[in-house]
């Protein structure tokens, strides 16, 4: 095995929780499953655990492959593994699919035992707070009292931040990457267009499309295409596609004329094949509702007063959907509370997607930060 | 990344043998356990020194990627930002001491940063190479731009844009109503009291608001 290697073949596990969970909305989930994966070994005093929180379309499958011939490994495989920035030789890493997801944890497409039918429209709206509460129960289930680190990008970064507020004594370090303290109106506007694309699809059936044997593929596809545009920078799209044509001559039609269109359609189609539209609605709503400062009259510094963790905040210069200025707001609020914080504002061309890219400097910063984390006896 | 940044100028100085004595001199103006902001903190060496000797709660500000990474490696809190943009990310009077160590001369927004430091810090420490040092004067008289240990650049590759003499900085403080609480002038790490604007190579100022 090379020094930088994969965690290898992994398998998901499922934890069942029979204690009802009261959600922020007031709705109650009587019972639920969380599907998760782990990499590395939990040490004797259970002090080396790291939780990975996923973003909008992420899953519990963070690293490794299920089978040797899987085309792709987990979504953050470049970050996590033996000798990688998040080194599984030192840390015990957990990936979990969030409630309301569509990759195995209880969500809209899961069968509701009360009705024998998929939850569909009846599945409640979940929030970042609800995810953190459910993840804490998973930690209890695994016997983990306190995490060495909680790591997330984008919506995952919001969860890492919320963890530090909800369970200040259970998080030693929070790595908040390409995130924001809340969404701007423009950012929420993209989510609303995406949801409208789904909801107005004739095959949405108010969210209960499962029983009609269809999925609102067209809406989900458009939602994803829109999202993709906002995850990339103008420069990145320019470099990748520019005005490159698909064919040798202009066809004066509405078929694919430019390479960019071909790419967006491909991404939309691929996503609509595998992702659940109801989950997409809920993930975007969780983004919209996230705003820890709202209970403090918009005072983020007051909201973050509860935090005790050390923080690494990372943003990317070309990320316009979660701009560097939003990360600087988080940093300022942490500074106002005299917390231990470092902030790296990385020059990157890839826009919001940069947090998933294997940029050497980005990885070096994350590696350096994680290497300095000490836990239970041995460093 | 540009090769001519204030941050790198600082790192360069950090390699100079006299740097440690510079640190020790700064440390005399910092109370144990103080909350310190070091602007243009380089690899975090000064903050690391103040942490180890005085148990300060320190934060550095740095622009260059390599220095930010070095700070993270050294376990020094670092905020990556460009000082030219000002200190709006820091509350008024939120630090006991704000330090600008041998970076002033490479700033474009010189007045702005000094006034902002006085807003953020209860006390301010500014150090800079004295352009009036006799070795610099001789090089100018003999017809060349000065190059020395504290000014280790050629005219065409220097990051320094606002060089000044001790006399110039005294005038600056008077004109901007800035109170100089203490001034220390060093050459090769040793204090200079006679003709400091001629015999001193490094100027250190402890500043407060004139109110």
pLDDT at site B19? 52
CB distance A349 to A341 below 8 Å: no
Q: Report which of residues A79 and B12 the model is more confident about.
A: A79
d(CA A77, CA A62): 6
Query: What mean pLDDT comes out for the span B96-123?
Result: 96
CB distance A268 to A221 below 8 Å: yes
pLDDT at site A181? 98
Q: State the DSSP code for A9.
A: B
Which among A105, A154, A233, A327 is annotated as catalytic? A154
A12-60 per-position pLDDT tens digit? 999 999 999 999 999 999 999 999 999 999 999 999 999 999 999 999 9
Tokens of A334: 């942490």
Superfamily of structural domain B6-209: Vaccinia Virus protein VP39 (3.40.50.150)
Query: What mean pLDDT comes out for the span A256-278?
Result: 96
A299-319 per-position pLDDT tens digit? 999 999 999 999 999 999 999
Query: What mean pLDDT comes out for the span A291-296?
Result: 98
B54-101 per-position pLDDT tens digit? 999 999 999 999 999 999 999 999 999 999 999 999 999 999 999 999
Q: Report which of residues B211 and A272 the model is more confident about.
A: A272
Nearest C-alpha of chain B: how many angstroms from A282? 34
Query: What mean pLDDT comes out for the span A205-225?
Result: 97
Task: Kindly tell me if the per-residue pLDDT of A358 is higher than 50.
Answer: yes
Tokens of A19: 């204690």
H or E element in which residue A327 lies: helix A324-336
What was the ipTM of the complex prediction?
A: 0.94
pLDDT at site B210? 64
Query: What mean pLDDT comes out for the span A212-234?
Result: 96
CB distance A175 to A312 below 8 Å: yes
pLDDT at site B209? 74
The confidence band for B189, taking pLDDT boundaries of 50, 70 and 90, is confident
Burial class from Cβ neighbours inside 10 Å (0-12, 13-18, 19+) for residue A88 reads buried
- Residue A310 annotated to the active site: no
Phi, psi of A287 (to 5 degrees): -60, -50
H or E element in which residue A300 lies: helix A300-303
Cβ-based contacts of A372 with chain B (< 8 Å): 72-73, 75
Characterize A153-185 residue by residue with b for buried, 16 or more Cβ atoms within 10 angstroms of its Cβ, and e for exposed.
bbbbbbbbbbbbbbbeebbbbbbbbbbbbbbee
Domain extent listing, chain B: 6-209
Tokens of A66: 């299920």
Is A331 close to B79, i.e. CB distance below 8 A? yes
CB distance A57 to A51 below 8 Å: no
pLDDT at site B211? 55
Q: Report which of residues B37 and B9 the model is more confident about.
A: B37
pLDDT at site A25? 97
Tokens of B25: 């001199």
The confidence band for A379, taking pLDDT boundaries of 50, 70 and 90, is very low
B140-168 per-position pLDDT tens digit? 999 999 999 889 999 999 999 999 999 99
Tokens of B22: 């510079």
Q: What percent of chain A has pLDDT over 70?
A: 98
- Residue A352 annotated to the active site: yes
A114: how many CB neighbours lie within 10 A of its CB? Answer: 9
H or E element in which residue B106 lies: none
A82-132 per-position pLDDT tens digit? 999 999 999 999 999 999 999 999 999 999 999 999 999 999 999 999 999
Q: In this complex, is the C-beta atom of A117 within 8 Å of any C-beta atom belonging to chain B?
A: no
Cβ neighbours of residue B7 closer than 8 Å, sequence gap 6 or more: B40, B42, B62, B63, B64, B67, B103
pLDDT at site B20? 61
Is A365 close to B77, i.e. CB distance below 8 A? no
d(CA B40, CA B37): 10
Residue at token pair 């009705």: A115
Tokens of B110: 């010189």
Distance, C-alpha B82 to centroid of its chain: 15
Task: Kindly tell me if the per-residue pLDDT of B12 is higher than 60.
Answer: no
Mean per-residue pLDDT of chain A: 96
Residue at token pair 């490094």: B202
Query: What mean pLDDT comes out for the span A169-195?
Result: 98
Cβ neighbours of residue A271 closer than 8 Å, sequence gap 6 or more: A57, A220, A221, A224
- Residue A327 annotated to the active site: no
């Amino acid at each position: 095995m090379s020094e930088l290697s994969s965690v290898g073949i992994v398998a998901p596990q499922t934890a069942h929780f029979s204690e009802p969970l009261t959600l922020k909305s007031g709705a109650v989930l009587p019972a639920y499953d969380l599907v998760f994966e782990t990499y590395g070994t939990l040490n004797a005093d259970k002090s080396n655990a790291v939780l990975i929180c996923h973003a909008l379309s992420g899953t519990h499958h963070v690293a490794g492959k299920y089978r040797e011939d899987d085309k792709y490994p987990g979504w953050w495989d470049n970050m996590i593994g033996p000798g990688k920035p998040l080194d599984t030789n030192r840390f015990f890493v957990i990936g979990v699919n969030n409630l309301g997801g569509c990759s195995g944890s209880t969500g809209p497409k899961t069968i509701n035992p009360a009705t024998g039918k998929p939850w569909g429209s009846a599945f409640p709206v979940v929030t970042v707070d609800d995810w953190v509460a459910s993840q804490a129960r998973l930690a209890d289930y695994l016997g983990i009292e306190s995490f060495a680190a909680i790591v997330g990008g984008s919506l995952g970064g919001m969860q890492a931040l919320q963890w530090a507020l909800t369970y200040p004594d259970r998080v030693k370090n929070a790595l908040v990457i390409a995130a924001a303290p809340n969404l701007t109106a423009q950012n929420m506007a993209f989510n609303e267009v995406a949801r409208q694309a789904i909801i107005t699809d004739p095959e949405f059936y108010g969210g209960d499309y499962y029983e009609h044997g269809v999925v609102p593929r067209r809406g989900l596809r458009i939602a994803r295409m829109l999202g993709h545009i906002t995850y990339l920078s103008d420069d990145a799209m320019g470099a990748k596609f520019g005005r490159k044509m698909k064919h040798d001559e202009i066809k004066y039609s509405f078929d694919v004329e430019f390479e960019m269109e071909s790419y967006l359609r491909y991404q939309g189609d691929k996503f609509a094949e595998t992702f659940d539209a109801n989950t997409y609605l809920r993930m975007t709503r969780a983004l919209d509702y996230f705003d820890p400062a709202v209970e403090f009259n918009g005072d983020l510094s007051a909201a973050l007063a509860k935090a005790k963790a050390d923080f690494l905040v990372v943003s990317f210069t070309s990320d316009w959907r979660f701009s560097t200025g939003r990360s600087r707001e988080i940093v300022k609020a942490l500074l106002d509370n005299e917390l231990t914080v470092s902030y790296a504002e990385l020059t990157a061309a890839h826009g919001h997607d940069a947090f998933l890219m294997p940029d050497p400097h980005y990885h070096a910063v994350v590696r350096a930060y994680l290497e300095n984390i000490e836990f239970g006896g041995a460093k | 990344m540009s090769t001519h940044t204030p941050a790198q100028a600082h790192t360069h100085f950090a390699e100079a043998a006299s740097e440690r004595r510079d640190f020790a001199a700064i440390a005399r103006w910092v109370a144990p356990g103080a909350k310190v902001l070091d602007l243009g903190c380089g690899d975090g060496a000064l903050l690391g020194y103040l942490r180890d000797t005085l148990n300060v709660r320190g934060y550095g500000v740095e622009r260059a990627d390599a220095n930010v990474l070095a700070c993270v490696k050294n376990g020094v809190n670092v905020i990556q930002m460009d000082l030219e943009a000002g200190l709006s990310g820091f509350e008024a009077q939120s630090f006991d001491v704000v330090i600008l160590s041998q970076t002033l001369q490479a700033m474009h927004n010189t007045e702005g940063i000094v006034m902002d430091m006085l807003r953020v810090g209860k006390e301010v420490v500014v150090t800079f190479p004295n352009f009036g040092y006799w070795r610099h004067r001789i090089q100018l008289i003999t017809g060349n731009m000065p190059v020395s240990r504290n000014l280790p650049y050629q005219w065409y590759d220097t990051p320094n844009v606002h060089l000044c003499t001790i006399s110039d900085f005294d005038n600056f403080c008077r004109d901007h109503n800035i109170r100089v609480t203490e001034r220390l002038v060093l050459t090769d790490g040793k204090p200079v009291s006679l003709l400091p604007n001629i015999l001193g190579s490094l100027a250190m100022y402890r500043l407060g608001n004139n109110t």
